[in-house]
Amino acid sequence: MNFSALTTFSIGLILFILFCLSLTIQLCYYLGSFSKLAYYKKPAFINFSPPASIIICARNEADNLAKFLPSIFEQDYPSYEVVVVNDCSYDHTEDFLKQFALQHSNLKIVTIQEDENYAHGKKIALMLGIKGAKNEHLLLTDADCKPADKYWLKGMMQHFTPDTDIVVGYGAYEKQKGFLNKIIRFDTFMIALQFLSFALKRKTYMGTGRNLAYKKSLFFKLKGFASHYHIESGDDDLFVNEAVNKYNSNVQVNTSNHTISRVKTTLEEWMNQKRRHISTFANYSSSSKVRLMLLTGSQYLFFATFIALLILNVGLFLILFLFLLRLLIQIIIFKKSMAELGERDLLLLSPVIELILLFIYPLITVSNAYIKKNKWK
């Protein structure tokens, strides 16, 4: 064996070892964690309906409120209020809310006036909404969201137990025509697959503000958003990351208890939204960061070593078999998890969209260092 052949063999061996290592890590995540959601057995019905407060922050959301707020008031629930924070709106939000309040006595309006000397983000609006809520059990959503059905509030509240302070739910996006819609919804599904699966393992690390419930006393025990107020985003994931422990969270994944939000319709809008969301990652707990970085790192390493081994023609049939094994397990987990979350139509394109997102995420991460952050909405 000459030196060149020996070098090629050594490189191929190292790449194969890295390929197998990344594959092992990936399978551990899919079989050891994501299977928790895929094979989730719904708990027995709990008849618990405490008085609840739904919190919605709105800035120039007159059109969305007119479309979605009526469904919030159609909830089949014995006692609840809806607190809408009108955050410095200059459209018709104020007029709409005043008229709507005449028809619904359980609507409470909190109004924030514009202050030229003090700029604030969503966290201030949310804090004032929570402060104005009269009930201990809170359910947060957005002005551009609608409940999947009239049992949304009931389903989220039923997952509170004496030890539960936080209930995380799934916030879906509208199904529309076009490939971008599928990219956005698959990305949302993947994020949910991760945080819901880990939550089912008692390792909750985030929730989404489109569908998140917690106790008012917990919020003030942690002094609200004080520890991360300086960060633009994070009113949902950073708060949960700080507030959660092994025993105080629960999960609600029933399709009737989802929320459905308006989806971004251009790539630029979606990437701006993703930039805000990704910016909070550095402030996660160390264990959460390691867990997510290991998942993402193994994903990149898996595809990089696979391509390199194909180019070098090293163990072609073996690596193809292992590649297809991962794909098969992934499809099985995706199929059952997507059924749980009502996203079955994404299955066929999921391998393709996974690769596309592997290219998009580095672009978003790098651009975060150069593009000035936008306002909260």
Tokens of 331: 């499809």
Shared-domain flag, residues 154 and 256: yes
| pLDDT for 250 beyond 50 | yes
Please give the pLDDT value at position 46.
Answer: 73
Asked, for residue 110, whether it belongs to a domain, the answer is yes
Shared-domain flag, residues 192 and 119: yes
What DSSP character marks residue 88?
A: S
Asked, for residue 300, whether it belongs to a domain, the answer is yes
Instruction: Summarize pLDDT for 263-316 with one digit per residue, the tens.
Output: 999 998 998 888 888 878 888 889 999 999 999 999 999 999 999 999 998 889
Q: Map tokens 């999921």 to a residue.
A: 350
Shared-domain flag, residues 100 and 21: no
Please give the pLDDT value at position 145.
Answer: 96
Q: How many angstroms separate the CA atoms of 58 and 126, rounded?
A: 10
Question: How crowded is the C-beta side of 222, counted as CA atoms within 13 Å?
Answer: 21
Please give the pLDDT value at position 4.
Answer: 61
Q: Is the dihedral of CA 211, 215, 217, 221 positive or negative?
A: negative
- What backbone torsions phi and psi does residue 140 show, to the nearest 5 degrees? -100, 140
Instruction: Summarize pLDDT for 138-186 with one digit per residue, the tens.
Output: 999 999 999 999 999 999 999 998 899 999 999 999 999 999 999 999 9
Query: Which of the residue ranges 2-16, 196-210, 251-265 would you say has the lowest mean pLDDT?
Result: 2-16
**CA 71 distance to own-chain centroid:** 22
Shared-domain flag, residues 62 and 108: yes
Instruction: Summarize pLDDT for 105-144 with one digit per residue, the tens.
Output: 999 999 998 776 676 788 899 999 999 999 999 999 999 9
pLDDT band (50, 70, 90) for residue 47 = confident
pLDDT band (50, 70, 90) for residue 262 = very high
Tokens of 248: 């105080």
| pLDDT for 195 beyond 60 | yes
Shared-domain flag, residues 315 and 233: no
Instruction: Summarize pLDDT for 306-349 with one digit per residue, the tens.
Output: 999 999 988 899 999 999 999 999 999 999 999 999 999 999 99
Shared-domain flag, residues 16 and 109: no
Listed residue (54, 249, 242) closest to 169, CA to CA: 249
Shared-domain flag, residues 274 and 175: yes
DSSP string, 239-303: HHHHH--SSSEEEE--GGG-EEEPPP-SHHHHHHHHHHHHTTGGGS-HHHHHHHHHHHHHHHHHH
**CA 29 distance to own-chain centroid:** 18
Shared-domain flag, residues 254 and 304: no
Please give the pLDDT value at position 156.
Answer: 95
Q: How many angstroms separate the CA atoms of 169 and 157, rounded?
A: 11
Q: CA 7, 13, 16, 20: dihedral to nearest 10 degrees?
A: -150
What DSSP character marks residue 53?
A: E
pLDDT band (50, 70, 90) for residue 376 = very low
pTM: 0.91
Please give the pLDDT value at position 360.
Answer: 92
**What percent of the chain clears pLDDT 70, i.e. is strictly above it?**
94
Number of structural domains found in the chain: 2
Please give the pLDDT value at position 210.
Answer: 95
The predicted model gives 27-54 an average pLDDT of 91
Please give the pLDDT value at position 117.
Answer: 63
Tokens of 76: 């089949």
Q: How many angstroms separate the CA atoms of 93 and 103, rounded?
A: 16
Strand order in the sheet with 171-173: 145-147, 259-261, 171-173
CB burial of residue 349 (10 Å; 0-12, 13-18, 19+): middle
User: With contact defined as beta carbons under 8 Å apart, do 333 and 350 qualify?
Assistant: no
- Coil, helix or strand at residue 54: strand
| pLDDT for 16 beyond 60 | yes
Please give the pLDDT value at position 233.
Answer: 80
Please give the pLDDT value at position 275.
Answer: 84
Shared-domain flag, residues 134 and 94: yes
Query: Which of the residue ranges 255-259, 280-284, 306-310, 368-372 would you say has the lowest mean pLDDT?
Result: 368-372
Shared-domain flag, residues 74 and 161: yes
Host domain of residue 240: 52-281
DSSP string, 129-177: HHHH--SSEEEEEETTEEESSTTHHHHHHTT--TT--EEEE-EEE---S
